[in-house]
Amino acid sequence: MYPKTTSSYPMLFLYFIYRNVAVGLVSAGLAEVIPHRSDEPKSVAYLELQKAQEKAKKAKKGIHGKEVPEEIVDYSLGLGDISPSVMIQLQNFLKNQKRRGVVDYVLSGQRLKVYLPERNCIIPVNLQHIQCDAYHAVIPKYQTKTGADALKYTNQRLFQKDIELEVAEFVDQNNRNPIWIGKVWVDGKDVALELLEQGLARIFVPPSFLNRGGRSKASGIPDAYAEAEAVAKKKNWTQEREEEKKKNDLTGHEKTVTVCHVDSAVRFWVNVDGSSELEKLEAEMARVPRQNPGTIRPGKIVAALYDGLYCRAKVLKPNPKDPSQWHVLFVDYGNRTWISHKDMTSLPQKLSLGQWPPLAHSCQLAALRAPSFNTVHFNISGEKFAELALPSAPKSENEKSLAKELKIKVILDDYGKKWYVILLDQNTNINEYLVKSGYARFDQKAKETPQELLRLEDAFTKEYLRTVQKLNEEALQARIGLWEIGDASTDEEDLF
Ligand SMILES: *[C@@H]1O[C@H](CO)[C@@H](O)[C@H](O)[C@H]1NC(C)=O
Ligand SMILES: *[C@@H]1O[C@H](CO)[C@@H](O)[C@H](O)[C@H]1NC(C)=O
Ligand SMILES: *[C@@H]1O[C@H](CO)[C@@H](O)[C@H](O)[C@H]1NC(C)=O
């Protein structure tokens, strides 16, 4: 079978070996079936093609009639010198009508070339309302797994298939990259909706609509699309989180750490990878250029200038009295301070938390609470803990403070947000020491402890919980430390 009068489009011949297009062409009388000898290789649809030809001959269609067949035009190559009247006819044919087509080629999850048998032309089509990750076979920058998966899905669904197409819009950029935007159905199913359901596409709102109040009704996004996207996102997110948690869950693990900051007798921050990682980061931070950080808002990660050095900081909240001052958390150390807007700069991509996770991890001594905040014991116990956990201060200016290596045993890893731990210095269990000495108390009512932790069933945790409860009772009996004024637990509950 060879198509008539397509000499100027040699590539098209390749497309026409596809069964549907071939049959379509032969039926329309636009092509002839090449007679084969019985031992020659031939199209799998040879019989079907011959039948189609017989029919077409009887009906005197195309080359079998008197009319000269039209040339097949591929509009994806540009509009060139297509006459305006031909274009108007084509647009009228397509506009707001479901039309029959055959998918000739799939370029990405959302982009196709569609052959329209009734018009004998090929048009480039973009699925309406959605966007898939770009996928480019050669350029690595445009190769994401989701992009590849989307392309694979659309290919499986649509390649060489009969479809229905409803065009909503035509975009023509100076006759160069014409594109028809619309919906595509295969076997009665909307393919864009399927892609959203599979989590392989996002809803796309043209920028012009974004300015007019976002994804409102004005943009015409079907409710089913929005719902499908939301469900897929939630599924994706939960899955990712579970995977992340499984991969990084430290529950039951021991780690050697240095304590880098103390918030209270039971809350503190640790560095895990020794000092080398921090030194590498600090060397990079010293080279961060000054740049406008854009709008500052809570949650934003910036580089904040402190003591002559930029440190990675998470913006917490503005000072109500002076909006140029922001409370920030230094994510690699765990300490906080107020920083002026002018001392913030944007963080280069390679130093983002995604690329280089925070070096300070938040910890809490498992199932323990500090004395109430507004009692003198809060400070006393905090200082005691700092003395036990922090590196000792250097004795002279030339001396560096000695890193103090401690061990943590993670009792519960709260989704990577916080580690609930036992802190060990050589053979001293610091948790037990603090409770025994009245510097900390057992958090029986789970005010600061996940319920889940108190319900853990492993022998180690159960033994630990039994021990701190017993030590707590003994310290209370002996009126040690925070218990010196007796059992304050009744009024204390109100204080916290
Ligand atoms: C699902 O997660 C992947 C990996 O993080 C991401 O690339 C993709 O865009 C997500 N899909 C949706 C629908 O949110
Ligand atoms: C935070 O801790 C780091 C490391 O100990 C120190 O260099 C920095 O000065 C501290 N920042 C504040 C605000 O205390
Ligand atoms: C605890 O110490 C801080 C600063 O170190 C001080 O401002 C505060 O007044 C102290 N609180 C009590 C109750 O002593």
* 458 residue type, one letter: D
- Give every CB contact of residue 385 below 8 A, 6+ residues apart in sequence: 262, 264, 265, 266, 268, 430, 434, 439
Cα–Cα distance for residue pair 197/203, rounded to 1 Å = 11
Could you tell me if 477 and 379 are in contact, meaning their C-beta atoms sit under 8 angstroms apart? no
CA 287, 289, 294, 296 torsion-angle sign: positive
403 in contact with ligand 2, CB cutoff 6 A:
no
297 lines ligand 1 (CB under 6 A): no
Domain co-membership, 196 together with 336 = no
Q: Rounded to an integer, what distance in angstroms lies between the CA atom of residue 34 and that of residue 32?
A: 6
Q: What is the pLDDT along the chain (496 residues), one digit of tens a residue?
A: 444 443 333 333 334 444 455 666 666 655 655 555 455 555 556 567 667 777 766 666 655 555 555 678 888 877 777 788 888 899 999 988 999 999 999 999 999 999 999 999 999 999 999 999 887 777 777 788 889 999 999 999 999 999 999 999 888 866 677 899 999 999 999 999 999 999 999 999 877 665 555 555 556 889 999 999 999 999 988 888 788 777 777 888 899 999 999 999 999 999 997 778 899 999 999 999 998 888 999 999 999 999 999 999 999 999 999 999 999 999 999 999 999 999 999 999 999 998 999 999 999 999 999 999 888 999 999 999 999 999 877 767 666 666 788 999 999 998 778 999 999 998 899 999 999 999 999 999 999 999 999 999 999 999 999 999 999 999 999 999 999 876 555 444 433 3
* 232 within ligand 1 shell (Cβ under 6 A): yes
Ligand nearest to C-alpha 383? 3
Residues 257, 400: one domain?
Answer: yes
| Domain that includes residue 53, residue range | 2-64
Tell me, yes or no, whether 192 lies in a domain: yes
* 297 and 393 housed in the same domain: no
- Listed residue (248, 271, 249, 257) closest to 423, CA to CA: 257
Find, among 198, 217, 177, the residue nearest to 133 by Cα. Answer: 198
Looking at the structure, tell me whether residues 216 and 200 fall in a common domain. yes
Whether 255 and 380 map to the same domain: the answer is: yes
**Domain holding 118: CATH number?**
2.40.50.90
Ligand 1 centre to CA of 237 (Å) is: 8
At residue 49, the 3 state secondary structure works out as: helix
Query: 368 and 352 in one domain?
Result: no
Q: What separation in Å is there between the alpha carbon of 215 and the centre of ligand 1?
A: 20
C-alpha distances (whole Å) from 63 to each of 23, 26, 29, 431 are 15, 10, 6, 92
Choose one of 261, 262, 282, 333 to mutate for the ligand 2 pocket test, by most ligand atoms within 8 angstroms of C-beta. 333
In a domain, 20, yes or no: yes
The structure tokens listed for 432 are 């037990």
In angstroms, rounded to a whole number, what is the distance separating the alpha carbons of residues 165 and 149? 23
Q: Which ligand is nearest to the CA of 354?
A: 1
| Probe residue for ligand 2, chosen from 306, 339, 343, 390 as the CB with the greatest number of ligand atoms within 8 Å | 306
Query: Closest ligand 2 atom to the C-alpha of 335?
Result: 1
Probe target for ligand 1 pocket from 130, 132, 146, 203, with the most ligand atoms within 8 Å of CB: 146
3-state secondary structure of 428: strand
Residues 390 and 449 in one domain: yes
Separation CA 426–CA 269 (nearest Å)? 19
d(CA 467, CA 459): 12
Q: Model-level pTM?
A: 0.57
Phi, psi (rounded to 5 degrees) for 34:
-75, 125
355 alpha carbon – ligand 2 mean position (Å): 23
Same domain, 353 and 367: no
- Total of domains in the chain: 4
